[in-house]
Amino acid sequence: MSVQVATCNAEQLISKCLTNDSASSIEPIVSSIGNEIIGALSIPEYQRPYCWTESQIKRLLNDLSVHRRELLNKPDDQQCDFYLGSIILHQKDEVLNIIDGQQRLTTLILVAYVLELYQDLSLRFESPESQQQIKHNLKWLMKNAALLQGVELSKINLSLVVTDSEDEAYNFFETQNTGGVRLKGPDIIKAHHLRAVDENDKTAVNRFALLWESLGNLTPVVDTVLRGRYWQNLRFRQYPLHNQANKIRQTIVSELADATGKGDDIAYGRIARTISDYGGESLVQSQVGYELRQPLNSGVNTIHYLRYFESLRKRYLKIDKDRAAADLNAYEHFYRELICQLDGCDYLKQLYDACLLTYISQFGDKQLLIAAQKLFRVVYSRRVKNPTAVKENSVPSFVQETPILDWIALSYTTQELFEKLDSFELKVDPNGLAADDTNGVKKRFVKAVNRYFTLNIQEADFASDFGEKLSLHLLQLGADADHA
């Protein structure tokens, strides 16, 4: 492995995109050890799309303008070029793959195009999202060409880190904190797993890159599955709070990239084996997808795992709000009309969604409505047991006291799980539920649940009757299903 470091200006780097002889007139880039950096710039298939908007472009152009104004009042010995950070490249033969810096470099190339500085600039963008954003930004730059006055690419300096090891390039990349649109965890794990696809099969890499792009924003499903993986008594781990963006990013990379192994695309579905009186046997796989907590391997295994759970999230946790109620099945109506309408329960919903995906990955949608309602009683018990608001850090504490995710994962049958959920004692703190109390979040919650399940509890009796009547209602729901 070799690593070379160099400094250059934007003009020198952009020359790596030129396809004609004009590049020969631009000073070459020489590393700190005296080697010339040779190769054509390229964007790997597994890179995220170009996504800078006019907001980031205006910020860059404003920074350049401020820098130029500041130089007007400085003597010659204090003049300096504008520094635009570091660019990380992976050199493979005579190709310089852009590992970090695509957003800035693409924007500078668009600026150079609008300023008509070069002809025959070539940098391929396979992603339709990138192509559309480039068209949009070009139109915006041409309309606002006045903002480009005074921009000199030769006065914009960059640091280059060039390595012949792709893994080492990504080690540098994952520790960068450059400007613009900060990479999120799913962007980094995308690169990790697409690199793990057979690099000798470019068709496969392209196919999985397109598959990943088709999934859209994976942040919601990644957040949900990680809660299900982290909140387990066997190896309980604290999941970062919503405002700890860097810790969340590190957690995603650690669990869904660094901790993944090497091996086949394995889905750990449960198989039931039945032996007859005559010695024969039959095997039935209860579900054919992936287990939420299963071990993961790099590459195709994790890509398919995330695709599977994103499909479950879209099917069961993202009910179209515009669909007519008559078009919803019973579970969809319950989730959309109650779960998605509850105030002050966002942190509990995060746990609840993790419970639903864990259940569905294990049992499919068998008796899903019953499971969803019984899980609701346990998870949302925190809303009526707490005298005040449900704080974010109280949810993992609740999971440790009441390991509901483990109850799901350790149940062999739905009936076994339902019995465990029914045995949970629902306690109600009377604070905020008296008839003369204001209509706070807690009372609004009880009213909504009372109305949805038609419990017919009088407001004066909320504190005394809510827990018992909801528990009896859902216990009877399960009993009715058993006799249906």
Q: Output the pLDDT for position 43.
A: 86
Q: Output the pLDDT for position 202.
A: 60
What are the two backbone dihedrals, phi and then psi, of residue 98, each rounded to the nearest 5 degrees? -80, 115
Side-chain-facing half-sphere of 274: CA atoms under 13 Å: 6
Q: Output the pLDDT for position 180.
A: 46
Q: Is 270 helix (H, G, I), strand (E, B) or coil?
A: coil
The one-digit pLDDT tens for each residue of the chain (484 residues) are 578 888 899 999 998 887 666 666 788 899 888 889 988 898 887 677 888 999 999 999 999 999 888 888 877 777 788 988 888 898 888 889 898 888 999 999 999 999 988 777 878 887 888 899 999 999 999 999 999 999 999 999 988 888 887 666 666 665 554 444 455 778 778 878 877 887 556 677 778 877 887 888 899 999 999 999 999 988 999 999 999 988 998 899 899 998 999 999 999 877 777 776 666 676 666 666 899 999 999 999 999 999 999 999 999 999 988 888 888 999 999 999 999 999 889 999 999 999 999 999 999 998 999 999 999 999 999 999 987 788 999 999 999 999 999 999 999 999 999 999 999 999 999 998 888 888 889 999 999 999 999 999 999 999 999 999 999 999 987 655 444 4
Q: Could you identify the residue written with the tokens 């799913």?
A: 186
Q: Output the pLDDT for position 398.
A: 96
Structure tokens that stand for 268 in this block: 């750990």
Q: Could you identify the residue written with the tokens 């070009």?
A: 138
Nearest to 178 by CA among 243, 101, 250, 247: 101
What are the CA-CA distances from residue 259 to residues 295, 298, 357, 480 (Å)? 9, 9, 21, 44
What are the two backbone dihedrals, phi and then psi, of residue 273, each rounded to the nearest 5 degrees? -115, 120
What are the two backbone dihedrals, phi and then psi, of residue 413, each rounded to the nearest 5 degrees? -130, 160
Q: Output the pLDDT for position 178.
A: 45
Nearest to 316 by CA among 359, 345, 270: 359
CA distance 33 to 134: 36
Per-domain residue ranges of the chain: 3-183, 186-318, 322-484
CA distance 146 to 151: 10
Q: Could you identify the residue written with the tokens 């790596």?
A: 16
Helix (H) or strand (E) holding 107: helix 102-114
Q: Could you identify the residue written with the tokens 């080697």?
A: 35
Rg, C-alpha atoms of the chain: 28
Q: 341 with 357: CB under 8 angstroms?
A: no
CA distance 369 to 243: 33
Q: 174 with 188: CB under 8 angstroms?
A: yes
CA distance 223 to 307: 14
